[in-house]
Amino acid sequence: MNKTEYVAMLSRRLGVPVSRIDGLLERLHAAGAVPPTRAKRHPPPLDEPDAVSILLAVLSDRGLEHAADNAWQLAAAHSDGQRFDALIADLLFGAPRHVGHLIIHPAGASVIVDAVHREFGERSDTPARYVPGGVLMAIAAELQGASPRDADALATITKVFQ
């Protein structure tokens, strides 16, 4: 999957307009968090760190002017010695896992993975974004090569058997 395909998939899965994700991506490019694609005709596959950075920018979106800072802050949030970006990378590119939900706060996140609740960073009374676990599991499945339909099925099956 290349960057353009990933942006389209995130738009479809998260309900965020492609134009908004493109705006966030431009800010990540400007900050050096994600390198711009040089070969437009034959774009390279998206690498794991870039996929994680883009997803974190979308999840932590509180304004284009702070896109990179918000993504970096969320990435660096810790829980039991693990960074949040490492957990997201494992969820997206590791073995399929059951995700109950993901709640993004202004300075952290709350997530249930394999029936274990974890808090990263600081909790806030005002959640910034809620992502159902099935959505995150479907994003991971598509990144690993599943069709959208198969990704939906995998997320459903994973939810049933966990």
pLDDT digits (tens, 9 = 90+) for 100-136: 999 999 889 999 999 999 999 988 877 678 999 999 9
Per-residue pLDDT of 74-93, as tens digits, reads: 999 999 899 999 999 999 99
- pLDDT of 135 reads 93
* Model confidence at 162: pLDDT above 60: no
pTM of model > 0.85: yes
- pLDDT of 158 reads 65
Burial grade of 130 (CB within 10 A; 0-12, 13-18, 19 or more): exposed
DSSP string, 87-151: HHHHHHHSS---EEEEEEETTEEEEEETTEEEEEE---SS-SEEEEHHHHHHHHHHHTT--HHHH
* Model confidence at 8: pLDDT above 90: yes
Per-residue pLDDT of 15-26, as tens digits, reads: 999 999 999 999
Q: Do 87 and 95 touch, CB atoms closer than 8 A?
A: no
Domain boundaries, the chain: 3-161
Per-residue DSSP letter, 45: B
Distance CA 40, CA 38 (A): 6
Distance CA 60, CA 129 (A): 8
Q: Which amino acid is at 91?
A: L
- pLDDT of 77 reads 95
